[in-house]
Every structure is written in C-alpha cells, then in structure tokens.
Structure 1
C-alpha cells in the first residue's frame, strides 16, 4: 500500500488525465461539455452564402415531394410550402454528443427569433426511440419544436451525419449546409440571419 501511495504521488497527473479520458469515453454529457468549449471559440461556425447556391425547391421535385416532417400531434409540414420564410433546419439525436454540444446555442437562437413569423425552426429528431429525444428535451428544458421526418429526406439536406444544419432563404434555396457542430448563438450568425430576413 505504501508503494502505491508513493507511485500515486509521483504519477498523480497521469492518473488525473487518464480519469478525464475515461470520463469522456463513457459520459455523453462530459463529451458534450468539452465540445461546447470547442465550439464557443467560433472556429467551427459555418457562414451563410451571400449568393444562393442551391436550386429552388420546384426545380428539385424529389425534395419537394418527399421532405416532410411532422410534429407530436401528427401535423405535417412540407418544406416546399415554406417559401417566403427563412427556414432553419437542424437534424439531431439525443445520443449524439456534438448535437448535445450545440443544442444550447440552438435553444438561445430559438428564444431570440422563435416569435419571428418570417423564420421557421425545424429541429428534426433522428433518434430511433422517439421517447429518448423527447426525454432529452424535457430534461434540459429546451422548448424548440420536436419534429420527426415523415418519409425519406433528400441527401441534398441530410446525408446521415449528425448534427446537420441547413438554412433556406425565402426562395427555398439552400444558403448554408453544415455537417457537424457549431454555435448558433453568436452575434455574427444573428447578423447573417437578419440579412436573409431582409432579402
């Protein structure tokens, strides 16, 4: 026992960092916290394109026909019918640490703009067990809309990477697509959203 104490005194920093590493491996919350520290730097943040890079939805029939979501009451929202609005789409899952890392920023964004009738939030849960997604939002007291896909989603919007965020302008064109986590509560992002709202 004495030898162990001596070894521990000499190697305490190694033990500490191994403990942190193990915690990060097993705890989604710890991973999310670490990732939040990374995204708070703003280095991973995407930019909304100044010029439209996507096609209008009517020019991509497979998207307008198949990309629909529904809310908890079964109400269907067809993305192709949202023209005239700026649309913020986020694909997420409760088990995904990068999703958990960025979700507080999405909640702050929603609290700031959620009442703006010109901006629609589609936060689309991709959990296989929908109860897990609802439980996560409830535990964290997030109030963003809980939506699920109604049918398949075009790869133009979601190719399987979580989280994925897409922003559509008022003509239905993709102006931003970002695979991976980001901070959507930065003033720089709000400024880009404001420009889209003014177009």
Structure 2
C-alpha cells in the first residue's frame, strides 16, 4: 500500500456499496485537516468537450470528453494537466492558474487562455465534479476497507482506455490486490 498523499490513487473495493464509486479509481488532489478532494479517473461521460469547453478540446487527451469527477458539485469543472517543465505560460507558481499536485501533475485554471498555455502542456483531462471527504471521513472509509491506497503511474490520469483503469491498476499490484483485478461484476453468477 502507498502513503495517503496528494497524487496517490484510491481504488474502490468491489464490495463498496456506494454506486457513485463502483469500481472507481480516484486521484487524490488534496488532503489536509479539513478533509480530502479527488477526481474519479475512469468515468468518461458521453458529453464531448466540443459541447462544453470547445476551446480546450484540441488540448485534451483521448477520449476528448468530459469525465464525471465525482458526485460533489458537478457544475464545476476541474482540469488535471501534466506540464512540460516549469509553470505553464499565463500561470504563476504561487497558485494563480496552476496548482501542483505531485511532480509535473497539477490542476490548471480553465480561465486561462488555452492558446497561451498549450505549449507547456503534455496532457489535459477535464472532470465535472469531484469526490470529497470531510475531516476524518476518508480515514474511516480506509479503516472499513472501502478503498485501497496505491501509487499512481504517471499515465493513469490520462489513460486512453479509462474503462479498463480499475482492472489495470489492480493487475499491476502484488499479492491479493492483483487477484481482485479479476473480481466478477456479479459474483453470484459464478
């Protein structure tokens, strides 16, 4: 198991009873005394970015759709990006426009001009809503074994086949978690 820090993944136990998080992989964006925030990486929506953020569509990784980042505040869009060194043009390192998560991964302010930041971006993905936990809530869910904390691969937030991410992340783990990767959708059908 990895440390519960920004940039780690929370992988849902298939026995988790909350339909919002069935077989999800959450990238943890922030965690402090007030709680934690993350985005679900493997829930692409049918809504194309050309419909809601056409100015960002050409910068987005495939599939160029809006992802369902979680059940909280689905009107808000969070842009997760990987930069090519330094701070993107038009942003500043003091949190104006760019908020680092870990290494070259962070969140980008969508009020920035996409043309001005394009040169410094390697990968971009948009998430409507987020997953949020109040103080101690995530720790309680971890104690109840609702989630597994694992290290993220640098390409996980931009996986070209997000529908396979839950299985792929578990498959690369060692021991019992690797076995869980083949857990059937309906265990009663076995």
Please report the TM-score for the alignment, with normalisation by the length of structure 2: 0.28
Which structure shows the bigger proportion of residues in helix conformation?
A: 1
Greater Rg over alpha carbons, structure: 1
Please report the TM-score for the alignment, with normalisation by the length of structure 1: 0.27
Which structure shows the bigger proportion of residues in strand conformation?
A: 2
